[in-house]
Structure 1
Amino acid sequence: MKWKGGRKSSNVDDRRAASGGGRGMPSRGTLMLLWPIIRPLLRTKLGWAIIGLGVVAYMSGFNPLSMLGMNGTPAAPIDQAEDDRNAAFISTVLASTEDVWKKELPGYREPVMVLYRGGTQSGCGFANSAVGPFYCPADQKVYLDLSFFDELSKTHDAPGDFAQAYVLAHEIGHHIQNLQGTLAKVQQAKQQWGNTQKANALQVRVELQADCYAGVWAHHAHKRFNILEEGDVEEALRAASAIGDDTLQRRSTGTVRPDAFTHGSAEQRVEWFRRGLRSGDIRQCNTFQ
């Protein structure tokens, strides 16, 4: 994907420092997470000394928080240069979504993208790397743990920068649904039904529409900025297929349960992304008909 030299978005809240991915003060969410550890240390002189050493180390450029994973185990070392490159890349992709959707959707309001590693606080509760990228309608922010890109490549066998761009474009699709009122209507319907199978089926439609919106973005981004290189579309399609419900279920349990789908099958996700990519028309993304 051609992205170097492109505009980077200013709507980025970089919290990677709080989990070892950069520099700066820890976020409030991280401090809340560590409070159960810090509180007993405040009761003794030795505890105060440990806290002091941690502060000195942090201010000297070493982040002691990076030594802890979310379950208290050592976190994997981070290649800072690669991490910064990924942050620059995804910030450039975010800028292209802003440029496309401001033109395609009059009155479009840009979301904020929160970059983190390990865990952070969101308007939808505490988020950690296990939940994957997600959009929170409560604060209109996209949350992205950059370690997901490693997982996408190694665990799901879907490497490539355009595969990563597809993931962000999908989450931006949820932001559009929030602006359109779709998410609120779906949530209301799910509450009224109180039926897990029906609720899951409705959520699948939400996810497939976001896939289609991602395709619409790719269509116009290439038209305006010539971003696509040979193999890029295949990267996105491979990613869409790799995170289809049937693929994930088969990998984890060896069986497929369509009634438990919440994002759609690999075939469905690929088809709806292709539909958006081919047409470039958001009106072709009505998955609720």
Structure 2
Amino acid sequence: MKWEGNRESDNVVDERNDNGGSGGGFGGGRSLGLGSIVIALAASYFFGISPSTVLSLLGGGPASHTQTQTAPTHAARANDPKTKFVRTVLADTEDVWTEVFRASGATYVPPKLHIFSGRTQTACGTGQSASGPFYCPGDRNVYIDLSFYQLMQQRFHVSGEFAQAYVIAHEVGHHVQNLMGISDKVDQARRRMSEAQANALSVKMELQADCLAGVWAFHANQARSILEQGDVEGALNAATAIGDDALQKQAQGYVVPDSFTHGTSAQRVHWFKQGISTGKVNTCNTFESKTL
């Protein structure tokens, strides 16, 4: 992915302090095995499965010891390639969605993206690293612990900068849904539904965010030629590896469709491809689509 030298966003808030983070590690201060953490992390982020539930299924537990690492200073982190990458990707989403909203006569208000370590306080409650990157509608902010990328690479062999950018673009997609009023309508509808019906609505919400991430990629590539050979395939591989069905089968040996909250591997691939091939928001209407 070509991103070096592009504009960097001023809407990134680095909450990591110089003493090693913003308040503890995974699981409320418990040190967990790497393999168990990443499955729980991915399950929570991509599927809405409680990390504690997945850890229980995997037999995960506290490690024998906790390693203390010396954190780089704030100034050093500001120029770290990973931090600059996040600022650049966020800026790219700002540029794309500003133009898309303007074309429809609306104004795009960008979210702030918080980089944290361990846990952080949000309008949606305490966010933890084990929850993976997430969007909080209450404060309209995106949150990410950059260790997520390392865990995904080590456990699922998902790598590549565009796959990482796709994660951010997906969360920004939720922000777009929030600005469009979709999030409120979905939340209101979910309160009147059974658990299975509410889960099905969540799947449509998440698949639309995947499609909106594809819309971003379409316009970003047209404007700045960010895509290189293998980038799209890498993002599709990520979607395939962490579909609801794939992760449930890996964690417990079978799938429970009624519990899906983010969609199957095939569905996530389909809707991302829908967005990146058309570049049109109106093609991302998962709620009225007869088939997902």
TM-score by length of 1: 0.80
**Identical amino acids, percent of aligned pairs:** 50
Aligned Cα RMSD in Å?
Answer: 2.1
1:1-289 residue pairs with structure 2 within 5 A? Answer: 1-17=1-17, 20=20, 30=23, 70-71=29-30, 74-75=66-67, 77=69, 80=72, 84-106=80-102, 107-193=107-193, 195-289=194-288
Comparing both chains, which one has the higher relative contact order based on Cα–Cα distances under 8 Å and sequence gaps of 6 or more? 2
Between 1:70-79 and 1:163-172, the stretch displaced more is: 70-79
For 1:143 and 1:121, how far apart are their aligned partners in 2?
10
For 1:69 and 1:254, how far apart are their aligned partners in 2?
28
For 1:156 and 1:284, how far apart are their aligned partners in 2?
30
SS of equivalent residue, structure 1 residue 90: helix
For 1:188 and 1:251, how far apart are their aligned partners in 2?
33
* Structure 1: runs of 5+ lacking an equivalent: 31-64
Q: Are the aligned partners of 1:19 and 1:117 in contact in 2 as well (CA < 8 Å)?
A: no
SS of equivalent residue, structure 2 residue 287: coil
Q: Are the aligned partners of 2:20 and 2:71 in contact in 1 as well (CA < 8 Å)?
A: no
Deviation at 1:70, TM superposition (A): 2.7
For 1:18 and 1:139, how far apart are their aligned partners in 2?
25
Residues 88, 70 of structure 1: CA spacing in aligned structure 2 closer, same or farther, 3 A cutoff? Answer: farther
Residues 4, 131 of structure 1: CA spacing in aligned structure 2 closer, same or farther, 3 A cutoff? Answer: same
Residues 75, 176 of structure 1: CA spacing in aligned structure 2 closer, same or farther, 3 A cutoff? Answer: farther
What letter is aligned with 1:196? E
Deviation at 1:75, TM superposition (A): 4.8
Q: Which of the pair has more CA radius of gyration?
A: 1
Deviations 1:62-110 (A, max 9, x none): xxx78x9832662574785799221110110000000000001120100
Deviation at 1:156, TM superposition (A): 2.0
For 2:287 and 2:18, how far apart are their aligned partners in 1?
40
Q: Are the aligned partners of 1:9 and 1:92 in contact in 2 as well (CA < 8 Å)?
A: yes
| Number of matched pairs | 246
For 2:110 and 2:240, how far apart are their aligned partners in 1?
28
What letter is aligned with 2:88? T
* Structure 2: runs of 5+ lacking an equivalent: 32-64
Greater helix fraction, Structure 1 or Structure 2: 1
Residues 225, 265 of structure 1: CA spacing in aligned structure 2 closer, same or farther, 3 A cutoff? Answer: same
Residues 78, 186 of structure 1: CA spacing in aligned structure 2 closer, same or farther, 3 A cutoff? Answer: farther
For 1:86 and 1:76, how far apart are their aligned partners in 2?
21
TM-score by length of 2: 0.80
What letter is aligned with 1:2? K
